[in-house]
Amino acid sequence: MADGARAGRGGGAAAAGIRRAGVHNRGLISPCFQSSVRLNLGKICVMAFIINLALSLAVLALLCGAAIQFIRGYKKEDWKAAGWKAFFLWVVSTSPVLASIALSSPKTGGGEVWKQFFDEVLRRLTLTEMFVYSAAFLAPMLYVVFEVYDAYEKKEVKLTIKDISGVMRGIEKVFLTSIIILILTLIAYAGANTNNAVFSTTYISIFLQQKGYMLYIASLLIWYSVILWEKGPVNFSLETAQKSEEEDFKEKMARRRGEQ
């Protein structure tokens, strides 16, 4: 019995020693382990931010690339004139939202006024409204289609790539981009307002909900491109216009001779 008691006390002491050693070891290892975890989590967050930023810039470049390339073909004087016109039209078109923001009052004790103002802007300009405005900004592109159709009705051009490109004057890629953005905008707006549980879990829905502002920016650039397009061909001059008219006249005369 005595031996058993001594053995029990010895086992208890050994277990207590192990527990103390474990606590001591945890006290030594835990800070190192926690700092390592924090460091890895920090790296993961930074990498995720970089990947998200790179993806956003890549998508924005794809959506705006054609418009930027078209805009660069004009002179700075044309940029300035078209910029003032685009800004005025943007203020008029978004005046309901701007008026509702301007007429709202900051809350007493709600923090700094400017912070409340920006919060109010984000609250008023919802994602669905951005989709509606994006579609509206693309509407002027239909004017280009009307120009092509009008020229075809007057029998000034035929439905060939060369003739249509001549009427569109270098805005063809911008037009194709606007069609893609319009389709994405319609899908995003319909999905956001129908509360479709299946659509909300798809990749395209998640992307459009997170990157909807890109469609808005791209639509503004396309609208600005149409305003520049209305000013005339890229690098327009009287000499190039006269040469173009002479070439058109020669082509029409050649067609008439061929028909005769």
> What is the rounded CA–CA span in Å between residue 233 and residue 74?
9
**pLDDT reported for residue 22:** 47
Q: 212-229 and 141-153 are packed helices; what angle lies between their axes, rounded to 10 degrees?
A: 40
Per-residue confidence (pLDDT) for residue 116, from 0 to 100 = 76
Do 85 and 223 contact (CB within 8 A), yes or no? no
- Compute the distance between CA of residue 218 and CA of residue 67 in angstroms, rounded to an integer: 8
HEC string for the chain: CHHHHHHHHHHHHHHHHHHHHHHHHHHHHHHHHHHHHHHHHHHHHHHHHHHHHHHHHHHHHHHHHHHHHHHCCCCHHHHHHHHHHHHHHHHHHCHHHHHHHHCCCCCCCCCCHHHHHHHHHHHHCCHHHHHHHHHHHHCCHHHHHHHHHHHHHCCCCCCCHHHHHHHHCCCHHHHHHHHHHHHHHHHHHHHHHHCCCCHHHCHHHHHHHHCHHHHHHHHHHHHHHHHHHCCCCCCCCHHHHHHHHHHHHHHHHHHHHHHC
In this structure, are residues 107 and 116 in contact, taking their beta carbons and an 8 Å threshold? yes
Tokens of 160: 């060939």
User: Is residue 33 over pLDDT 60?
Assistant: no
51 HSE (CA, 13 A, CB side): 6
Which of 11-20, 34-43, 137-146, 185-194: highest mean pLDDT? 137-146
Instruction: Please give the residue that has the higher pLDDT: either 114 or 257.
Output: 114
pTM, 2 dp: 0.67
Place of tokens 């070891």: 25
| Cβ within 8 Å of residue 175, ≥6 positions away | 141, 144, 145, 168
- 102 close to 120: Cβ distance less than 8 angstroms: no
- The CA radius of gyration of the chain, in Å to the nearest whole number, is 33
* 29 has pLDDT over 70: no
Report whether pLDDT(25) > 50: no
pLDDT of 187 above 60: yes
Q: Is the pLDDT of residue 9 over 60?
A: no
pLDDT of residue 2: 45
Name the pLDDT band for 196 (thresholds 50, 70, 90).
low
**Each residue of 41-66: pLDDT tens digit?**
777 787 877 887 787 788 888 888 88
Mean pLDDT, residues 130-134: 79
Task: Tell me the pLDDT band of 84, cut-offs 50, 70 and 90.
Answer: very high
Q: Would you say how long the chain is, in residues?
A: 260
What pLDDT is stored for residue 249 in this prediction? 58
